[in-house]
Amino acid sequence: MRIGFIGLGNMGGPMSLNLLAAGHTLTVYDVRKEAAAEQVAQGARLASTIAEVAGNSDTVITMLPTPRHVEQVLLGDGGLLAAMAEGSTWIDMSTSVPAVADRVRAQAEPLGIRVLDAPVSGMAKGARSGMLQIFVGGDGEDVARQRPALEAMGDPERILHVGPHGAGYAVKLMINLLWFCHLVATSEVLAVGTKAGVDLEVLHRSLVASPATSNFLQSDVLSVLHHGDYDESFAMSLACKDLGLAVDLAREVGVPVELSALVEQVYRRGRAAYGDLAGEMIPMKLYEDVAGLELRLPTSQSAAREVHP
C-alpha cells in the first residue's frame, strides 16, 4: 500500500518502521526533520510539507501528541484534508477525542475521503515489536481494507473493531483511565503497607495471590519495583492529557467520575513535581517521597529501604 505517516515520535517512529519492514511504500513527515532519519535510511520518502504526504499516499496515518495537534495537521493552513484525494483514507492513531475527528469527517465525507480512529495500547515496546493492541472505530469495510497496514503495526489477534466512528478513541481513553487508577491505588497500598512494617516482597506476593490482584500488580508495577524505571517512553505531559480527555468525556456524557477526577489531580501533582518529560509511572514516586521509602524488590539493590531518617 502507499502509506503516509505524520508524527514520528516515541510511537510513530517505530510504527512507521514496521510499515516499511512489511513492504509498504512510505512517505513520512514530522516537524522535527531529524525524526525521519531512520525511515529515510530504510527507503521512506521524506515529505517537506503535509500536502506532499497526501499527494503520495492512499492512506495517511497520524500519530500526534494531542487533539489540538491533530486538528491543526488536518484542518489548519496547508492541512492534510485539503490535499487528500477522493477515495483515500485518514487513520488517526493518536490518543484523541471523537469531537475533533467529527469535525474532520464532516468535511471529509462529501469529498469521498474515508476516516478511521485507531488508537493503540502497548507502549513504545509494543510499537517496536509490531505487537500493539489497536482499537478501531469506523465502518467495517474501511477497517477490512486497512487491515494490512494495521497488521504491520499491531498484533493481528488484538486489532479490534470496537464500533462506529469515535469508539476507538473512547475505548483507548477508558483503558488509560483505568490503568492510571490502578497505578495510584497500587502506589497508596504499597506505601502504606511497607510503612506499616510489612516486607515489600511479602506484601506484593500477598496482594498478587489475593482477590485484589490485578495485571498492574502482577506485571506493570515491576518496572518500578525491580529497576526504578518509571517509563519515560510515555511522558507525563501526555499522561495528564489523556486523563484530562477522559474526565472531559465523562463530563460530556453526563457521568460523575469522582475517582477519575482525583486520579487526574494526583497525576497533575506528579507532573508539577517531576516535570513534563518524567515517565507515566512517576506518580508512584509521590508516595515513595511522602512515606520516605523507595519501593524496590530485593532483585534490585534494596527493598523498600528508608531513604530519609
Bridge partners of 214? none
Q: Is 270 in the site for ligand NAD (CB under 6 A)?
A: no
Nearer to ligand NAD, 10 or 206 (CB): 10
Q: Is 282 in the site for ligand NAD (CB under 6 A)?
A: no
The packing angle between helices 167-195 and 283-291, to 10°, is 10
Q: φ and ψ at 4, to 5 degrees?
A: -110, 145
Is the C-alpha dihedral spanning 91, 96, 102, 108 positive or negative? negative
The residue from 27, 89, 94, 194 that contacts ligand NAD (CB under 6 A) is 94
Contact mark string toward ligand NAD, 19..58, x via CB under 6 A: ----------xxxx--x-----------------------
Residues 119 to 148 in contact with ligand NAD, rule: CB under 6 A? 120-121, 123-124
CB 129 within 8 A of CB 101: no
Q: Is 284 in the site for ligand NAD (CB under 6 A)?
A: no
**Catalytic one of 125, 172, 195, 285:** 172
The residue from 3, 5, 7, 91 that contacts ligand NAD (CB under 6 A) is 7
Bridge partners of 70? none
CB 103 within 8 A of CB 72: no
Classify strands 154-163 and 132-137 as parallel, antiparallel or unpaired. parallel
Nearer to ligand NAD, 63 or 143 (CB): 63
CB 134 within 8 A of CB 153: yes
Q: Which residue has the cell 485518514?
A: 90
Nearer to ligand NAD, 231 or 294 (CB): 231
Q: Is 33 noted as a catalytic residue in this protein?
A: no
Query: Would you please indicate which residues are annotated as catalytic (active-site) residues?
Result: 172
Binding site for ligand NAD (CB under 6 A): 6-12, 29-32, 35, 63-65, 69, 72-73, 94-95, 120-121, 123-124, 233-234, 238, 242
